[in-house]
Amino acid sequence: MKFELPPLSYSPDALAPKISTETIEYHHGKHHLAYVNNLNGLIPGTPFENATLETMIMKAEGGIFNNAAQVWNHTFYFSSFSPSGKREPHGTLLRAIDAGFGSFESFRESFTKSAATLFGSGWAWLCMKPDGTLAVTQESNAGNPMRSGMVPLMTCDVWEHAYYIDYRNRRPDYIKNFWELLDWNIIGHRFDEALKK
């Protein structure tokens, strides 16, 4: 199976100035693409030659896991944004956030702290646990909470290539603006679909 770089659902300048066109061109057009190309070079002749990204995330190790997870993680991250989406959760997801964190504001504080304090490179995640409740987790490098039996709902990429062009080393400023780009209609739909399974 040959993987391709998934196209964005918005133009490269649609998230500016919070995420600039230049960052999109490098982050999506170069870094994301590099993971796709690396994976395509690694899997021929292996048990994962015809596997899905999800299978590789769950079963592979080393370079195949790292590149498959980064392809999946980046696709998931970029698809959570919209230039004009719903900026706060609603419906069943909001009720779950209120139940798990007390309020949306408390959840935002918890998630922001998780993203800001993750040492080195990696991802902060909002996930659904097997019992249907929510959790905020940190994953280093290419880590993905699927490996712990959780369903990813939302993520923040805190590798420096996600923000260095726009914010240099000011990760907290990037995270602050990240909230202004999320489309909670998309995230809420993911939660509703996960509840059905």
Taking only the tens place, the pLDDT of each residue in 38-80 is: 999 999 999 999 999 999 999 999 999 999 999 999 999 999 9
What's the N-to-C CA distance of the chain in angstroms? 27
User: CA distances (Å), 183 to each of 17, 60, 67, 84, 154, in order?
Assistant: 17, 31, 26, 8, 10
* Short-list 109, 107, 151, CA closest to 130: 151
Structural domain count of the chain: 2
How far apart CA 24 and CA 40 sit, in angstroms, is: 22
Whether residue 21 has pLDDT greater than 90: yes
Higher pLDDT, 197 or 105: 105
Under the banding of pLDDT at 50, 70 and 90, the label for residue 197 is confident
Residue 187 and residue 102 in one domain: yes
* Residue 43, both tokens: 């899997």
User: Given strand 122-128, what is the order of strands in its sheet?
Assistant: 134-140, 122-128, 151-157
How far apart CA 32 and CA 26 sit, in angstroms, is: 8
- Position 146 scores a pLDDT of 98
- Position 142 scores a pLDDT of 98
- Position 103 scores a pLDDT of 98
Are 128 and 191 spatial neighbours (Cβ–Cβ below 8 Å)? yes
User: CA distances (Å), 147 to each of 37, 57, 150, 197, in order?
Assistant: 23, 7, 7, 17
**Considering the domain boundaries, does residue 41 fall inside one?**
yes
How far apart CA 30 and CA 5 sit, in angstroms, is: 10
Which of 78, 99, 121 terminates a domain? The answer is: 78
- Position 1 scores a pLDDT of 84
Whether residue 36 has pLDDT greater than 90: yes
**Considering the domain boundaries, does residue 16 fall inside one?**
no
Residue 59 and residue 132 in one domain: no
Domain that holds residue 67: 21-78
**Considering the domain boundaries, does residue 113 fall inside one?**
yes
Residue 45 and residue 117 in one domain: no
Whether residue 114 has pLDDT greater than 90: yes
Q: CB 50: neighbour CB atoms within 10 A?
A: 9
